[in-house]
Structure 1
Amino acid sequence: MVTMSKKPDYTPGEFQWSFLLPQYWGIWIGIVFLMILAILPWAIQYRLATFLGNLAFNKLKSRRKTTVRNLEVCFPEWTPEQVQEHARQVFIDQMIGIFETLNAWYCPHWFKGRVTIEGLEHIQNAQAAGKGVLLLGTHSTLLDAGGYLCAQYFEPDVVYRPQNNPLLDMLIYRCRATIYAHQIDHDDMRGLIRNLKEGHAIWYSPDQDFGLKQGVMAPFFGTPAATVTAHRRLLKISKAVPIPLYFYRTGDLKDPRYHVLIEPVVDNLPSDDEVDDATRVNQIIERQLRIAPTQYMWFHRRFKTRPEGFEEIY
């Protein structure tokens, strides 16, 4: 997930007096509104999320079409009715994830007594041996709520893409600062490698299609997909170890519980075969997503890169 973008001409998280100009008033009003939503009782939050998720599913036709197509490709055993049902739930889970993230930012006490973790010793053992940890995760609908769950047990760093709007970027950066030990710009490869060499645990999601300039074609749920390989270089240079990480919601939405799953170190990654490495990482992601299929951002075009000879998906 190493892409090039224009560098912001401001320090992340830094307040600027220009943020008080009228052009930013709409964002300030929006932030106050979100803070109000964050203090609502969960029963109201999840009902609002369900309403908004259904609304988005019905109105965002392009995203809905992409979601349905992704599910058809990845879960061919599902009937058309099951695909539609799960696709709708993807949008609902995304909206629920927004409220969960607001809770993580503004009302973190809501998660007290709701979180469990499995496999923490894998990170602890790696760091005790002086190794950095590259946490192989996914673009979960839980968003930053997942980072908050992890932060209850260890200090995670995160790789992020700066927002185009500087005020929005400052606000999100400051909210995330209450969760993550360090936030690393996705273009700051030196900072990322430095933190890995210093023994940090960094959440990294190699699960999106960035084309073949940054990856190779490897099977994802049995279908060839452009798969990033940047993590191989990071692991080689930093001598860090790859550890799969997954977090998800369980139970009744009226009284949810959250679980963080940390798996053992992936052996022999990187190897000498980048396609084999990409295939193994995709298999890890597949295994994770089957735990809670609708808690993933399926509205991204995971199979958009189709080289000559490969069937078009969308």
Structure 2
Amino acid sequence: MPQPQDYQPGEFQWSFLLPKYWSIWIGIIFLMILAILPWAIQYRLGQWLGQLAFRYLHSRRKTTVRNLELCFPEWSAQEVQDNARQVFVDQMIGVFETLNAWYSPKWFQGRVSIEGLEYIQQAQAEGKGVLLLGTHSTLLDAGGYLCAQYFEPDVVYRPQNNPLLDMLIYRCRATIYAHQIDHDDMRGLVRNLKNGHAIWYSPDQDFGLKQGVMAPFFGVPAATVTAHRRLLKMTKAAAIPLYFYRHGDLKNPKYHVLIEPPVERLPSEDEVDDATRVNLIIERQLRIAPTQYMWFHRRFKTRPQGYEQLY
């Protein structure tokens, strides 16, 4: 469903009240009800929905299993299956965590810790912008909320095709992020970095070789985006790794935000070396909580001539 040409993110339109949108409004009300449920019910629902998704989303399950086989060859076949199932469970639990971040943020009080905040503060004190190198976590926007308790993050986002959904998500995220930047708005991204903002950016998906290079990811050649190199070169921003994850007992979870020292010499003159170094950072992060990552994306789908097909 194309958006009207005059549509502005977060803007309400009277057309949203038309019958064709009623099912979405009903769904949103249902999600808001889920957001106020006790956590004991939420995480049990998340586990049940995750098991259901693992069972019936055959293509996603196959991709997840294949990714884990490639990236964790030390795991047995049973460990791969168990962890693949947990990926789906963590994703569904992440939906409830995001709903809590949007509608019941007080639930996170006393559950969040941070490490390395000084690296962002120091860079901004020097007048630099900060490009936060992160991952596509199953925590979704809950991760952004964790960060927002300690600093003001901007986020790069892809607009929804449905204008009502786009408005609702944009407004929910506005309570978390200082600014939301359309992924096509390169000028806005550059401007905010030059103005000293901290922007969450995830260079961890396969967008082909028009936007990247082949570089090892968990030892497997993968198409790796290089757009962040151009951003860093244009803005002189600091590249700072960011990772957040859930830990402890699921019945009483805790959350940790890990900020690492700025990556030195990024960008360098060698884009393959830069991509390799960034991938190594992401690998190290993912090993902390392997199942809290969206492994159901086809990370190794681009296979140039001479590379074997993996899916």
TM over 0.5: yes
Shift of 1:311: 1.1
User: What is residue 301 of structure 2 aligned with on the other side?
Assistant: 304
| 8 Å contact from structure 2 (residues 3, 162) kept in 1 | no
In 2: Cα distance, 1:183 partner to 1:313 partner: 35
| 1:46 matched to 2:43 | yes
Is 1:116 equivalent to 2:108 in the alignment?
Answer: no
- What is the CA-CA distance between 1:9 and the residue it aligns to? 4.0
Instruction: Return closer, same or farther for 1:8/1:126 CA change in 2, 3 Å cut-off.
Output: farther
Q: CA RMSD in A?
A: 1.1
Aligned to 1:240: 237
Query: Does residue 220 of structure 1 match 2:220?
Result: no
2-structure distance, mates of 1:32, 1:208: 32
Aligned pair partner of 1:13 in 10, 13, 21: 10
SS in 2 for 1:218: strand
1:186 counterpart (159, 179, 183)? 183
Partner of 2:69: 72
Q: Distance in 1 between matches of 2:115 and 2:201?
A: 19
CA 1:19–1:7: 2 relative to 1, 3 Å: closer
Aligned ranges 1:16-31 → 2 under 5 Å:
16-31=13-28
What residue identity is the alignment partner of 2:18?
A: L
Once residues 126 and 5 of structure 2 are traced to their aligned partners in structure 1, the CA distance between those partners, rounded to angstroms, is: 37
Alignment match, 2:269:
272
Matched, 1:103 2:100: yes
Is 1:56 matched up with 2:53? yes
CA distance in 1: counterparts of 2:5 and 2:116, whole angstroms: 38
Structure 2: segments with no counterpart, 5+ residues: none
Whole-angstrom CA distance in 1 between matches of 2:152 and 2:219: 35
> What letter is aligned with 2:246?
R
For residues 8 and 258 of structure 1, the distance between their equivalents in structure 2, rounded to whole angstroms, comes to 40
Q: Is the CA contact 2:98–2:140 (under 8 Å) kept in the aligned structure 1?
A: yes
The ranges of structure 1 where at least 4 consecutive aligned residues each deviate by more than 6 angstroms after the TM superposition are none
Against the structure 1 CA distance between its residues 187 and 136, is the aligned structure 2 distance closer, same or farther, given a 3 Å change threshold? same
SS at match of 1:286: helix
Map of 1:176 onto structure 2: 173
Matches within 5 A, 1:190-205: 190-205=187-202
**Cα drift, residue 8 of structure 1:** 5.8
In 2: Cα distance, 1:148 partner to 1:277 partner: 29
Letter in 1 for 2:125: A
Q: What is the TM-score of this pair, normalised by structure 1?
A: 0.98
Q: What secondary structure is seen at the aligned counterpart in 2 of 1:259?
A: strand
Letter paired with 2:68: L
Identify unmatched segments of 5+ residues in structure 1. none
CA distance in 2, matches of 1:204, 1:128: 21
The letter of the residue matching 2:298 is: R
Once residues 34 and 98 of structure 2 are traced to their aligned partners in structure 1, the CA distance between those partners, rounded to angstroms, is 11
Letter in 2 for 1:306: R
Q: What SS class does the counterpart of residue 27 from structure 1 fall into?
A: helix
In the alignment, the residues of structure 1 paired with residue 6 and residue 60 of structure 2 have an alpha-carbon distance, to the nearest angstrom, of 32
Cα offset, 1:7, TM superposition: 9.2
Native 8 Å contact 2:3 2:163 kept in 1:
no
Distance in 2 (alpha carbons) for counterparts of 1:242 and 1:24: 41
- How far apart are the structure 1 equivalents of 2:3 and 2:17? 24
| Within-5 A mapping of 1:281-300 | 281-300=278-297
Equivalent residue for 1:144? Answer: 141
SS of 2:120's partner is: helix
> What is the CA deviation profile of residues 187-239 of structure 1, one whole-angstrom value per residue up to 9, with x for unaligned ones?
00000000000000000000000000000000000000000000000000011
Is the CA contact (8 Å cut-off) linking 2:215 and 2:224 kept in structure 1?
yes
Q: Distance in 2 between matches of 1:76 and 1:219?
A: 15
Residue 42 of structure 1 aligns with an amino acid whose one-letter code is W
Give the structure 2 partner of residue 132 of structure 1: 129
Code of the residue aligned with 2:46 in structure 1: it is A
Residue in 1 aligned with 2:159?
Answer: 162
Distance 1:134 1:6, change over 3 A: farther
The number of residue pairs the alignment matches comes to 310
In structure 1, how many angstroms separate the alpha carbons of the residues matched to 2:133 and 2:97? 22
Which residue in 1 is equivalent to 2:248? 251
- Give the 3-state SS of the residue equivalent to 1:163 in structure 2: coil
